[in-house]
Structure 1
Amino acid sequence: MKSDGIPSGCAISGLMSEDGRRINGKKIIESIACMHDRSNGLGGGFAAYGIYPKRKDMYAFHMMYDNARAKEDTEEFFKDHFNVDKDEAIPTHRQNGISDPPILWRYFLEVPENKLEFLSERDYVAKTVMKIHSEIEGSFVASSGMNMGAFKGVGYPEDIGRFFKLEEYSAYIWTAHGRFPTNTPGWWGGAHPFTLLDWSVVHNGEISSYGINKRYLEMFGYKLELRTDTEVIAYMFDLLVRKHKLPVEIAAETLAAAFWKDIDRMEPGKKKIATAIRQVYGSTLLNGPFSIIIGHNRGMIGLNDRIKLRPMTAARKDDMLYMASEESAIREIAPDLDEVWSPRAGTPVFGTLKAGVE
Structure 2
Amino acid sequence: MNARYPKFERREDDAAEGGCGVVGLASEVPVAGRHLFASLEQMRNRGNGKGGGVALVGLDPRQFGVDSRTLSESYLYAVAYLDSSYRESVEESCIHPNFHVDHIHEMPALETWQRDLTALDTQPPEVVCYFVRPREEQVDLFISRSLDVAIDPNDREAAKQEFVFQTTHSLNVEFYAKDGRTDAFVLSHGRDMLILKIVGYAEDVIRYYRLEDTTAHVWIGHHRYPTRGRVTHPGGAHPFGQGIDCALVHNGDFSNYVAVKDYLAQRGMEPLFFTDTEVGALAFDLHRRVYGYKMEHVIESLAPTSELDYVMLPEDKQEVYSAIQRTHIHGSPDGPWFFIIAQSEGPIHRLIGITDTSMLRPQVFAYQRGEVGIAFCGSEKQVIDAVLESLATEDKRFWRRADEYWNARGGSYTDGGAFLFDIRPTESGGKELVMTNKFGGVVDTHPSGDYDLVLSDDDTPLELSGMPVEDAYLAVLEALPHMDWPQARATLESIEADASENGREWSWGLLTLLLDRRYDIGYLRRSLWLDLVESSLIRTVSSATHSPCDHFVGQRTLGHHP
Same-fold call, TM > 0.5?
Answer: yes
Contact 2:34–2:211 under 8 Å retained in 1: yes
Aligned to 2:420: 350
1:147 to 183, 192, 210: 192
Task: For CA contacts below 8 A with separation 6 or more, give which structure has more relative contact order.
Answer: 1
Unaligned runs of 5+ in 2: 1-16, 62-66, 148-158, 177-182, 389-399, 412-416, 432-562
Q: Secondary structure at the match of 1:281?
A: helix
Contact 2:269–2:282 under 8 Å retained in 1: yes
Aligned to 1:224: 271
Task: Go from structure 1 to structure 2 and tell me whether the alpha carbon gap of 1:239 and 1:52 turns closer, same or farther (over 3 Å shift).
Answer: farther
Tell whether 2:20 aligns with 1:10. Answer: yes
Aligned to 2:109: 92
More displaced 10-residue stretch of structure 1: 322-331 or 47-56: 47-56
1:252 to 299, 302, 323: 299
Q: Secondary structure at the match of 1:354?
A: strand
Could you report, residue by residue, the CA deviation over 1:50-97 in whole angstroms, capped at 9, with x for unpaired residues?
225323121111111232443222111211111122224311113312
Structure-to-structure mapping, 1:257-296, within 5 angstroms: 257-260=304-307, 262-264=309-311, 266-296=313-343
Contact 2:365–2:408 under 8 Å retained in 1: yes
Tell whether 2:338 aligns with 1:338. Answer: no
Contact 1:41–1:154 under 8 Å retained in 2: yes
Residue 241 of structure 1: how far off its partner (Å): 1.1
Give me the identity figure in percent. Answer: 31
Contact 2:60–2:215 under 8 Å retained in 1: no
Contact 1:263–1:275 under 8 Å retained in 2: no
Aligned to 2:216: 171
**CA–CA separation in structure 2 for the residues paired with 1:169 and 1:327:** 25
Task: Go from structure 1 to structure 2 and tell me whether the alpha carbon gap of 1:27 and 1:237 turns closer, same or farther (over 3 Å shift).
Answer: same
Aligned to 1:78: 95
Tell whether 2:246 aligns with 1:236. Answer: no
Which residue identity is paired with 2:357? R
Could you report, residue by residue, the CA deviation over 1:189-231 in whole angstroms, capped at 9, with x for unpaired residues?
1111001321111111101222222222223332211111111
Q: Secondary structure at the match of 2:341?
A: strand
Aligned to 2:240: 194
Q: Secondary structure at the match of 1:136?
A: helix
**CA–CA separation in structure 2 for the residues paired with 1:47 and 1:103:** 17
Contact 1:207–1:290 under 8 Å retained in 2: yes
Q: Secondary structure at the match of 1:172?
A: strand
Task: Go from structure 1 to structure 2 and tell me whether the alpha carbon gap of 1:235 and 1:52 turns closer, same or farther (over 3 Å shift).
Answer: farther
Contact 1:16–1:320 under 8 Å retained in 2: yes
Structure-to-structure mapping, 1:18-167, within 5 angstroms: 19=28, 21-53=29-61, 54=67, 55-56=70-71, 57-76=73-92, 77-93=94-110, 94-95=112-113, 96=117, 97-98=119-120, 99-117=122-140, 118=143, 120-137=159-176, 138-167=183-212
Contact 1:88–1:107 under 8 Å retained in 2: yes
Task: Go from structure 1 to structure 2 and tell me whether the alpha carbon gap of 1:102 and 1:355 turns closer, same or farther (over 3 Å shift).
Answer: closer
Contact 2:218–2:351 under 8 Å retained in 1: yes
**CA–CA separation in structure 2 for the residues paired with 1:24 and 1:225:** 32
Contact 1:43–1:152 under 8 Å retained in 2: yes
Q: Secondary structure at the match of 1:116?
A: helix
**CA–CA separation in structure 1 for the residues paired with 2:18 and 2:379:** 10
**CA–CA separation in structure 2 for the residues paired with 1:269 and 1:29:** 46
Contact 2:230–2:236 under 8 Å retained in 1: yes
More displaced 10-residue stretch of structure 1: 326-335 or 64-73: 64-73
Contact 2:125–2:198 under 8 Å retained in 1: no
Contact 2:229–2:273 under 8 Å retained in 1: no
**CA–CA separation in structure 1 for the residues paired with 2:139 and 2:105:** 27
More displaced 10-residue stretch of structure 1: 201-210 or 170-179: 201-210
Which residue identity is paired with 1:125? V
Tell whether 2:374 aligns with 1:325. Answer: no
**CA–CA separation in structure 1 for the residues paired with 2:266 and 2:227:** 28
Aligned to 1:4: none
Residue 152 of structure 1: how far off its partner (Å): 0.8
Which residue identity is paired with 1:195? G
**CA–CA separation in structure 2 for the residues paired with 1:315 and 1:228:** 29
Contact 2:52–2:199 under 8 Å retained in 1: yes
**CA–CA separation in structure 2 for the residues paired with 1:182 and 1:254:** 23
Q: What is the TM-score normalised by the length of structure 2?
A: 0.60
**CA–CA separation in structure 2 for the residues paired with 1:274 and 1:315:** 28
Aligned to 1:214: 261
Task: Go from structure 1 to structure 2 and tell me whether the alpha carbon gap of 1:354 and 1:104 turns closer, same or farther (over 3 Å shift).
Answer: closer
More displaced 10-residue stretch of structure 1: 148-157 or 180-189: 180-189
Q: Which has the higher helix share?
A: 2
Residue 264 of structure 1: how far off its partner (Å): 4.3
Q: What is the TM-score normalised by the length of structure 1?
A: 0.92
